[in-house]
């Protein structure tokens, strides 16, 4: 005589409830694992994409002309900058660079564009630019400042660059970031400007902000 087992509706409902709970647990663990993986990926990308800012130093500054004609100034300066990417895993696209000179807080040359270039990991480049100011209006006090510096025998200029760059990691390229560079050049400056250019080649380290 065989035994007949009859499952009650209540027992079936309990088994179905356990099955649903098990499915929910699997879904929960899957979503948790996915969320954790995304967080780890974001952390890894942040660690990789937290690059050190580029380094600039002043190699040479040659001043060919710096003369006042009434309220206007004429200037001609040749500039050489040394640029280095200190990052081991991040390359740099320099999309825009404008270079100019200032004296006593006044801009004494026009903005000179530098052609865009790519800088690989731990790569260095030399940037040269000819800075020219033709009949630039300046403050009346600039003549007094030039005369005083001639008496002291030292001329201090600020060579500045600003532009936009992008970081590159593998095939991924970031959005654009604005950067500013400020370099200080100190030139010997006698009572009269000699025919030869005033040369400064101290290799001064520049400040860079992003």
CATH number of the domain that residue 62 is part of? 2.60.40
Q: Which of 1-10, 34-43, 132-141, 163-172 has the lowest mean pLDDT?
A: 1-10
Q: Whole domain around residue 31: which residue ranges?
A: 8-48
Q: What pLDDT is recorded for position 131?
A: 95
Question: Do residues 35 and 101 both lie within one domain?
Answer: no
Closest CA to 89 of 46, 37, 42: 46
Higher pLDDT, 82 or 140: 82
Question: Do residues 109 and 146 both lie within one domain?
Answer: yes
Q: What pLDDT is recorded for position 87?
A: 93
Within a domain: 156: yes
Within a domain: 3: no
Dump pLDDT digits (tens) for 42-57: 666 655 667 899 999 9
**What are the residues whose beta carbons fall under 8 Å from the beta carbon of 85, sequence distance 6 or more?**
54, 55, 91, 92, 119, 120, 121, 122, 123, 124
Within 49-181, where are the H helices?
141-152
Report whether 86 contacts 52 (CB < 8 A). Answer: yes
Question: Do residues 142 and 197 both lie within one domain?
Answer: yes
Q: What pLDDT is recorded for position 182?
A: 96
Question: Do residues 193 and 133 both lie within one domain?
Answer: yes
Question: Do residues 115 and 42 both lie within one domain?
Answer: no
Within a domain: 31: yes
Q: What pLDDT is recorded for position 3?
A: 55
Output the CA–CA distances (angstroms, integers) from residue 27 to 24, 33, 34, 37, 44, in the order listed.
5, 10, 10, 15, 26
CA 65, CA 68: separation in Å to the nearest integer? 10
- pLDDT confidence band for 112 (50 / 70 / 90): very high
| Positive or negative torsion for Cα 141, 147, 151, 154 | positive
CA 207, CA 54: separation in Å to the nearest integer? 10
pLDDT beyond 60 at 13:
no
Question: Do residues 42 and 138 both lie within one domain?
Answer: no
Question: Do residues 65 and 16 both lie within one domain?
Answer: no
Average pLDDT in the 151-169 region? 91
- Label the pairing between strands 106-107 and 204-205: unpaired
What's the mean per-residue pLDDT of the chain? 83
Dump pLDDT digits (tens) for 163-206: 999 998 888 888 899 999 999 988 887 665 545 577 666 667 89
Average pLDDT in the 94-104 region? 95
């Amino acid at each position: 005589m065989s035994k007949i087992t009859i499952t009650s509706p209540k027992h079936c409902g309990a088994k179905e409830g356990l099955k649903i709970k098990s499915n929910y647990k699997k879904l929960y663990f899957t979503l948790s694992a996915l969320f954790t993986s995304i967080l780890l990926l974001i952390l890894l990308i942040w660690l990789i994409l937290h690059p050190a800012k580029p380094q600039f130093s002043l190699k040479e500054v040659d001043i060919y002309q710096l003369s006042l004609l009434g309220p206007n100034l004429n200037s001609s300066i040749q500039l050489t900058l040394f640029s280095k990417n200190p990052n081991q895993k991040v390359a740099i696209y320099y999309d825009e660079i404008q270079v100019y000179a200032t004296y006593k807080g006044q801009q004494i040359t026009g903005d000179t564009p530098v052609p865009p270039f790519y800088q690989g990991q731990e790569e260095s480049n030399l940037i040269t630019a000819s800075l020219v100011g033709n009949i630039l209006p300046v403050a009346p006090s600039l003549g007094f400042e030039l005369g005083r510096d001639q008496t002291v025998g030292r001329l201090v200029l600020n060579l500045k660059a600003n532009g936009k760059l992008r970081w590159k990691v593998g095939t991924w390229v970031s959005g654009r970031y604005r950067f500013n560079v400020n370099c200080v050049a100190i030139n010997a400056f006698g009572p009269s400007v000699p025919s030869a250019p005033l040369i400064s080649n101290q290799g001064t380290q520049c400040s860079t902000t992003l």
